[in-house]
Structure 1
Amino acid sequence: MVGVRVGEDGEADGSFPQGRDAGWPIVGAVWFAWGMEILWVLMALVLLGFVLLPVLRRRRGMIEQVAPGHPDAADPADYGFALEEELDIRMPGPDQDLLDVLDVVQHTQDYRAARQLLAGTGAEGERRWQRVQAFAGAASLELRQRPGGVGQTPGGQWLRVWRAEAPKDAGGAAVHAEFLVQQAWRTSTPGTDEFRIIMEEARAACGDAALFAPDDPIPHIIELSVARGLGYPRSDFEQLWLKILDRAPAHMGAHLAALHYWCEKWHGSRELAYSFAEAAAARAPRGSLLAAMPLFAVFEHLPEVNLVSSFYRSEVVTKALHGALHAVHSARPDDPMLAHVRHLLLFFLVRAERWAEAMNQLLHIDGHVGALPWTLAADPAAEFAVYRALAVAGYEANGGNPATLPH
């Protein structure tokens, strides 16, 4: 063995020892000191890992996925769930009439089927609002895919023809207003001149749509997004909100749109958003999904980094979860907003490790992922599939299997 001689000044001189035991007590002490330093470093890294691992796992919208082949892995296909590539990202739940009309409009570029469908959809209900959003979204997506150019027709041309040929049609005016709102959010940055110009155009389009259908709440619901983007003063926003309450006081879609304005990241605060959501839940008529509003308020204020492992089982989350579960159990099976609430319930129930209840939500919503929180992800279908796999794995780890899951 060789060592390092330590001189009288405490520095190593680089020479070998001049005898079998020369210098070894001192050298041994040096090696011992170094070993202790390394040991402390390793212990610090281990402790740091315990702190950082929950942080990395709990970033908002992200959750660890069980690797294929892992003992905890389970196959969602055993439960008859759709393949990831088959998940429909356009809507939160099924609406076959809308899908059929969308196919016709996009293949023929003829707007008349869309106009007829909206004309036959009740103005005060949730379904008309969802269909307006779907038609506007389809036109916006077409335009993004085919922006046009020399000798090329831009995508979404059917909407332009609709507005040109039926300028006073209330349905077409509402779809056009919502199209402009979606274009502003998708193609420009809030606060820029481009964003403001598009939003001002959308604001004017909302006014036109309201003139063609004075009792229709949808033009005013669309304007809620304009108000958020342009930063309406609270007095102006509240006046707009009163117009909606006069026409559709229990409209869930309108309440969700208004909630954004009151959130901390826009023009309100956590307290104002919670207050708005809780007031809506308190005045919700029997069978209304407004009782689920507090859960949406909690979601909008989730911490970017959560250091508390029991956060999703905390009192505030548990109370909001129970309100949403009660709303789901009391709602009409055909309520168009039911799927929206079930999707958010799945997110929270998985995070809270309430596996059986999460599986129950999956039985109702699997196949469609066009809702929060999945639509915030770059790949909504993949994000939904992660949570679905976790729900299945957790359910089976606690003794569940396809045979024990009630349908």
Structure 2
Amino acid sequence: MALLHAFTRSPRVRRRAAPSPAVGAVLPADDEVLLDAPDDALGPALVGAAQGDFVPAAELLAATRRTKAWERRDRYVRRLAVFARSRPGWLTSWRAAAPHDGDALLVDAQVAVDRAWDSPARTELLREVSPLITAAAKADNGDPVPWRLALDHARGARAGHTYFEDLWAAAVRRAPHHYGCHVAALSYLASSWHGSHRECFDFAELAAQDAPDDSLTQALPLRAAFGYLTDGCGPPLPRARLEAAADRAVALSARFPAGHAWPAEPRNLLTYVLVRLERWAEALEQLGLIGVYATSFPWDRDADDPLGRFLQVRREVRAALATGRGRGHPLRERGRHVRSGDH
């Protein structure tokens, strides 16, 4: 696919730095940990929506568009759409008050795609959503978020490679390093070439190399590692590639302040991978940086209770460090890849 050929340099596998010594991270009590807690900007928008007022959400998304804060815009659209699925009144009022508002169209399109994904008739329902995504994309020519949604839509509709590549080209013209678009492309590669994890890693590593140091796209190889570790199929990959993906994500995590909601999801994903790699001290360090901010992803990958799984993993990491080795493995049974000492 041209999606891969767009990156022509060979991937560099960074040498893993020596692990930091075990730290006595002070972790919040179990009953203090929150699941998918909003940040300070999203919180008031959700409160307003709960009261039937769409204005705070409209102002929030307008600000992200005005400042070109595309990563935050993408996350806020997703979170507002999740809320709208259970409490749709505020979004219905917004669409009625401003039927051509691009931000309202975008949230509505996200709701429609999410709903279609959960249906047995996914492919047919997704085809019906296309006009809504097109309208959202036309509202702001520089916004990559509708194109991320279009990429997700194309994957669910099982679109062909040529069509997907056209969408991809349009997305990266607007924001070359947008994390959401890259995750959508990586997911498409993984689903189209099931088990071809080497190709997914090639794409993720080269995208990360081209991205700024503080870009969330630095965590794309970590997403590829997560896919490999949880897939359980395809030929084995050198452990060094998994280690390098974790190292890159550790460096990214260090660029964000501790105990904040914004970097919580990459840190939760990083903790998952570090535990699978049995890098216990670094996993504990990330848990300390996460603080109270647990996220559903990745813990909902294999648990109906993601918060419970997160808290279980915290206990297992502490036990592993206290005894010098893991007592069992909370994530070992999922996926067959990676054994201790598998280098």
Distance of 1:340 and 1:367 partners within structure 2:
12
Q: 1:81 aligns to what?
A: 28
Deviations 1:296-326 (A, max 9, x none): 11211225569xxxx9993232122122222
Matches within 5 A, 1:232-251: 232-251=159-178
Q: 2:81 aligns to what?
A: 136
Stretches of structure 2 lacking an aligned partner (at least 5 in a row):
1-23, 326-343
Q: 1:270 aligns to what?
A: 197
Distance of 2:244 and 2:36 partners within structure 1:
30
Distance of 1:347 and 1:270 partners within structure 2:
18
Distance of 1:173 and 1:123 partners within structure 2:
18
Asked whether 1:369 is paired with 2:312, we answer no
SS at match of 2:224: helix
Q: Post-superposition shift, 1:254?
A: 1.8
The one-letter code matched in structure 2 to 1:340 is: E
Equivalent position to 2:273, from 348, 368, 373: 348
Q: 1:359 aligns to what?
A: 284
Task: Check 1:195–1:312 CA distance in 2 against 1; reply closer, same or farther (3 A cut).
Answer: closer
Task: Check 1:210–1:289 CA distance in 2 against 1; reply closer, same or farther (3 A cut).
Answer: closer
The one-letter code matched in structure 2 to 1:111 is: F
Q: 1:315 aligns to what?
A: 240
How many residues get paired?
295
Equivalent position to 1:182, from 114, 120, 123: 114
The alignment yields a C-alpha RMSD, in angstroms, of 2.7
Deviations 1:306-351 (A, max 9, x none): 9xxxx9993232122122222333x354998632321111112222
Q: Check the 8 A contact 1:127/1:336 in 2, yes or no.
A: no
Task: Check 1:241–1:82 CA distance in 2 against 1; reply closer, same or farther (3 A cut).
Answer: farther
The one-letter code matched in structure 1 to 2:279 is: R
Distance of 2:101 and 2:300 partners within structure 1:
30
The one-letter code matched in structure 2 to 1:387 is: V
The one-letter code matched in structure 2 to 1:102 is: L
Q: Check the 8 A contact 1:270/1:301 in 2, yes or no.
A: yes
Distance of 1:398 and 1:344 partners within structure 2:
23
The one-letter code matched in structure 1 to 2:155 is: R
The one-letter code matched in structure 2 to 1:97 is: A
Q: Check the 8 A contact 1:312/1:351 in 2, yes or no.
A: no
Deviations 1:136-178 (A, max 9, x none): 01111x1xxxxxxxxxxxx412212211211111111110011
TM-score by length of 1: 0.66
Q: 1:257 aligns to what?
A: 184
Stretches of structure 1 lacking an aligned partner (at least 5 in a row):
1-75, 143-154, 400-407
The one-letter code matched in structure 2 to 1:383 is: R
Q: Check the 8 A contact 1:126/1:336 in 2, yes or no.
A: no
Deviations 1:108-154 (A, max 9, x none): 212122111111123442111110001001111x1xxxxxxxxxxxx
SS at match of 2:94: helix
Task: Check 1:87–1:198 CA distance in 2 against 1; reply closer, same or farther (3 A cut).
Answer: farther
The one-letter code matched in structure 1 to 2:28 is: F
Q: Check the 8 A contact 2:268/2:295 in 1, yes or no.
A: no
Larger Rg: 1
Deviations 1:345-399 (A, max 9, x none): 1112222332221111111213222253113231110111111111122233349
Asked whether 1:113 is paired with 2:56, we answer yes
Task: Check 1:213–1:305 CA distance in 2 against 1; reply closer, same or farther (3 A cut).
Answer: closer
Task: Check 1:355–1:390 CA distance in 2 against 1; reply closer, same or farther (3 A cut).
Answer: same
Asked whether 1:298 is paired with 2:225, we answer yes
Deviations 1:267-324 (A, max 9, x none): 5632331221122022122333323222211211225569xxxx99932321221222
Distance of 1:348 and 1:163 partners within structure 2:
41
Q: Check the 8 A contact 1:344/1:372 in 2, yes or no.
A: yes
SS at match of 1:302: helix
Task: Check 1:276–1:80 CA distance in 2 against 1; reply closer, same or farther (3 A cut).
Answer: closer
Matches within 5 A, 1:152-167: 155-167=87-99
Task: Check 1:109–1:119 CA distance in 2 against 1; reply closer, same or farther (3 A cut).
Answer: same
SS at match of 2:28: coil
The one-letter code matched in structure 1 to 2:34 is: D
The one-letter code matched in structure 1 to 2:287 is: L
